[in-house]
Amino acid sequence: MNLPFDYERLTLGEFGGTTPIPSDFDSARVVILPIPLDRTTSYVPGTRTGPHEILIASSHMELWDEETGTDVHGIGICTLPEMEFPFATLEEVMQEIRRVATELVTREKFPVILGGEHSITAPVVAALAARHRGLSVLQIDAHADLRDSYMGTPHNHACAMRRSLEYGHVTQVGIRSMSAEEADAAPGLNTTIFYDAMMRQDPQWIDRVVDSLTDPVYITIDVDGLDPAIMPSTGTPEPGGLSWYEMLALLRAAISRRTVVACDVVELSPIPGLVAPNFLCAKLIYKVLTYRFGTLSP
């Protein structure tokens, strides 16, 4: 906002806060798109405020990354307003998300989608796949999300990856909950599954995950893929899951060996009074950006 006078200020809703100055859309390399869709989540309500709380938390992060010795924010990070959906059907919601994601992709932006429930992933993958031949998807998640339909709709979050693999191969990491139907269907689908229990017994699991990915790669992080110890704020918090440093190691490996073209972080259901999980999501996104663009920063 242009003011005829000035003062030290903080604008709500900018990833990374307002210091020094957030990028405008045209000059930004990275665009944060919040999509607080919350229609089908089952146990604990509340992904609707997820993007909002991630943005609030992000303004309290340091922008310097001590691991890589870089400050990636200089590449330009622009945060868009939250999408709203005055549409009747999930089908139309999915089309609108795909349209907006396509707008970003055609302008050469690196989209970071903030969910909202996992069903938003499929239309974003569709937009990316239309642009990038051979796109594969790296999914970190407790749940396979491979149901063909659930609660009467193919767009339920429990179907998120069944929909996504219409556009490319999916590698699923941290899986520790699925239905008998999904277990039956999985061998016939274009997916590679890394079960959480088995990852614990395979020191090479990260390499094997990256080996399974074609290039380029879309990363979708359902926060319930993480250990509930550090991520209780999600609808169905399954015990087990990735630690913070396992997650970072996986992201570092995937980004260094493949071209990552976009990512999303979904299914954060903030718990009132508990900010640590929200802060973790903000920092996780900044780590992705640092690994992806850190060497480009001035």
Residue 94 has which token pair? 């999915």
Residue 124 has which token pair? 């974003």
Residues in region 32-51 near a copy of itself by CB under 8 A: 38-39, 42-46, 48
Q: Which lies closer to a copy of itself via its Cβ, residue 64 or residue 259?
A: 64
Q: Which lies closer to a copy of itself via its Cβ, residue 104 or residue 260?
A: 104
**b/e map 271-296, b = 16+ CB within 10 Å:** beeebebbbbbbbbbbbbbbbbbbee
Binding status of residue 21 toward a copy of itself by CB under 8 A: no
Q: Roughly how many angstroms between the first and final C-alpha of the chain, as a whole number? A: 27
Residues in region 244-263 near a copy of itself by CB under 8 A: 244-245, 248
Q: Which lies closer to a copy of itself via its Cβ, residue 41 or residue 168?
A: 41
Cβ partners under 8 Å of residue 103, min gap 6? none
Which range, of 111-119, 129-137, 205-213, 274-282, touches a copy of itself by CB under 8 A? 274-282
Q: Which of 202, 207, 229, 296 binds a copy of itself (CB under 8 A)?
A: 229
> Binding string, 150-189, against a copy of itself, x = CB under 8 A?
-xxx---------------------xxxxxx-xx------
C-alpha 76, offset from chain centre: 19
- What number of chain residues touch a copy of itself (CB under 8 A)? 89
- By DSSP bridging, strand 217-222 and strand 191-195 are unpaired
Q: Which lies closer to a copy of itself via its Cβ, residue 93 or residue 219?
A: 93
Nearest-10 crossing angle of helices 276-293, 50-58: 70
Q: Which lies closer to a copy of itself via its Cβ, residue 91 or residue 259?
A: 91
Q: Which of 130, 189, 253, 271 binds a copy of itself (CB under 8 A)?
A: 271
CA–CA dist 109, 100 (Å, integer): 12
How many beta carbons lie within 10 A of that of residue 142, not counting itself? 28
Residues in region 84-113 near a copy of itself by CB under 8 A: 84-89, 92, 96, 99-100, 103, 107
Binding status of residue 71 toward a copy of itself by CB under 8 A: yes
